[in-house]
Amino acid sequence: MSERSGVAGVREELAGAGAVPDALAVSRGVRVADGPLGLQALLALERSTRAELLGAGEVLQPLLEDPAVTDVLVNGAAGTWVDRGAGLERVDTVVGTEREVRALATRLAAACGQRLDDACPVVDGSLPDGTRLHAVLPPLSATGTLISLRTLRTRAFSLAELVASGTVAPQVAPVLRALVRCRANVLVSGATGTGKTTLLASMLSLVGPGERIVCIEEATELRPDHPHVVHLQVRRANVQDAGAVSMAELVRAAMRMRPDRLVLGECRGAEVREVLGALNTGHDGGWATVHANASADVPARLLALGALAGMSEQAVAVQAVSALDAVLHLRRRAGARRLVEVALLARRGDELTCDLALTVGADGRVQEGPAWPRLATRLDAALAEDAR
């Protein structure tokens, strides 16, 4: 055996001599019958070891590596579900007993650098490969240990791919390109799993290569196809309840990092004050996402977030209308993700409203709404100024 260590050394030795030590195989339960362990078996050994040490284990890792899978959900010993883009479906994969599921959740939490036990029964973190983990232990979960895994896409979809898949209607694609080109500030809304992050990453991929994009997220999920992207990630408090760095603090830090595009992965708290403030003070071309059931519900969501930051409804309305140029709303239809509304925020007295500019029907037909002339005028003026 050569002095090289690790898998590379074993592979080299195997190629030259055609054998590996029986102890290596036995340690992982691989039986060596009458001859040397084959290359395919050794590669399988490597994959299983990586899955156990760095991934979600031999049972779940193959599901996460399926390019069609976006989410893997384990409901204790009751079963496993996946989302391949057409809604949740149950799979035959069995993690094991409740005790084994809990042990897996604890190990995954440790891989994220988090603690999961009776004193800290909820964890949210990222595995070394970027997979997002959320786990809950009993008795908070009445049906056993719950594990939720969201995969990290290795690359962003292009806008052409989103059009081809039906997520974006062909007639809406030029509007999206114009929003990016004229440096509009855009809010992407939708329920969980509707493709907000996917659309956002595609839009950021259209940004010119000479611009600097600063992304602020709870867990790094955005992977735009762009040469200059900087990621800031929230840090949670440690077991002594110290050391936390909030989203609002990261927004303030990002403003000092010379961003050409300020991006907030998800606006869900008091950081809305800093975001609206930043977008009102020259940081144009910014993007953010927010949870909402329809574009008409976005004003109520912004007002609720503003209340968490101590802002009055009037202050939120004034800043939101001034800061945000468009709202893009996504929805699931028949299990598929669709961009169904393009809207503009407006004020009517002290009330904040959201007026439709474009709607996409279930048949894919695009119709103009009452706010379309206002959006078209704004885009035309911005593009004309940009051309000069």
pLDDT in tens, 79-115: 899 988 777 889 988 888 999 999 999 999 988 888 8
What phi-psi label fits residue 160: left (phi over 0), alpha (psi between -120 and 50 degrees) or beta?
Answer: alpha
State how far the Cα of 13 lies from the Cα of 20, in Å rounded to an integer: 8
pLDDT in tens, 6-28: 444 434 443 444 444 443 343 44
Q: In this predicted structure, what is the pLDDT of residue 338?
A: 94
- Residue 278 near residue 167, CB atoms below 8 Å: no
**CA Rg value for the chain:** 24
Confidence of residue 243 (pLDDT cuts 50, 70, 90): confident
Q: Inform me whether the pLDDT recorded for 37 exceeds 60.
A: no
Q: In this predicted structure, what is the pLDDT of residue 42?
A: 61
Please enumerate in sequence order all residues whose Cβ is within 8 A of that of 61, keeping only pairs 6 or more positions apart, or say none. 51, 55
Q: How many of the other CB atoms lie within 10 Å of CB of 242?
A: 7
The helix (H) or strand (E) run that includes residue 88 is strand 88-91
Per-residue tokens: 44: 């399988």
Q: Could you tell me what percentage of the chain is helix, strand and coil, using 3-state DSSP and rounding each to the nearest 5?
A: 35, 25, 40
Least confident range from 3-17, 77-91, 189-203, 352-366: namely 3-17
Q: What is the pTM of this model?
A: 0.76
Q: Which residue has the tokens 């974006």?
A: 168
